[in-house]
Amino acid sequence: MTKARVFTGVGTALITPMTEQGVDYDRFGPLIDWQIDNGVDALIIAGTSGEGSTLSDQEHKDVVEYAVKRADGRVPVIAGTGSNDTAYGLQLTRGCVERGADAVLVVTPYYNKATQDGLVKLYYDYADAAGVPVILYNVPSRTGVNIEPATYVRLAEHENIVAVKEANGNISKITDTMARTAGNLDLYSGNDDQIVPLLSVGGIGVISVLSNLLPRQTHDLVMAYLNGDTQTAMEMQFRYNDLVQSLFCEVNPIPVKAAMSYMGFCENYVRSPLYAMEGANAKRLRQSMRNVGIEV
């Protein structure tokens, strides 16, 4: 089965600039342009980093539509649409596709903890409803459920289920998945500290938080590996390791929102129940940014 490939390289899990009054489109547009001008291969809108879980239904669709129009075909725009309420998630998926999303990123249902059979049924429903490529998002640390390798085999049989953003952290299970799916499912790292390891077992890119700050460098890291320069890719993985750790010293997207505010791309504002970073962690983050040449 030949499937559509959404992108190769780096897809930025983009923040959504906000103020207390709502989405800050005056800053969102230039941020999208800056990302594309600096080499990203795709944009993920209204995912975890984009605070999709606290956007209203209208805001969610509006930010996707805005990003599609601003990107203007320069890179694919992927909408985060998963939910623990399947009916709502399907409605949101259809709405984002109607507004021009090139693909959707669908997280496993959180809190409800679906069974493996339940995940297959769920994702088939999303894939049928979307009519565009579906990227699975496996992040057990947030959702409490892991997509098992045998389940990926079943999911990969659907023509619209084309890839997975894998953030389970278990390299052995990821290797097993790639061996079992035999090239029928594209793999993106969902963890910035594991880009090179996942590329080494067949990955084609990363859906990245780091690339909010360093789009060109993250793109170059991936392409160095894919072009055979594994030494450079490894050195870059190590170079940015401390910054990656700082970007996850509090729950995402609190640190990346702070980092982007230091760079002038947004206010340091996140919606409740998140709370803006301050104190020792903010100091640590600023230093990590300076250490890799970001002026803050």
Whether 126 is catalytic: no
C-alpha 262/C-alpha 113 separation (Å) is 37
Q: How many CB atoms lie within 10 A of CB 83?
A: 20
Which residues lie closer than 8 Å to 56 by C-beta, 6 or more apart? none
Q: Which residue in the list 165, 188, 240, 257 is annotated as catalytic? A: 165
Q: Are strands 22-23 and 18-19 parallel, antiparallel or unpaired?
A: antiparallel
C-alpha 207/C-alpha 195 separation (Å) is 9
CA distances from 69 to 39, 73, 286 (A): 18, 8, 33
Which residues lie closer than 8 Å to 63 by C-beta, 6 or more apart? 16, 23, 28, 45, 46, 50, 55
Whether 240 is catalytic: no
Q: Which residue in the list 126, 137, 188, 225 is annotated as catalytic? A: 137
Q: Are strands 186-189 and 161-166 parallel, antiparallel or unpaired?
A: parallel
Catalytic center residues:
137, 165
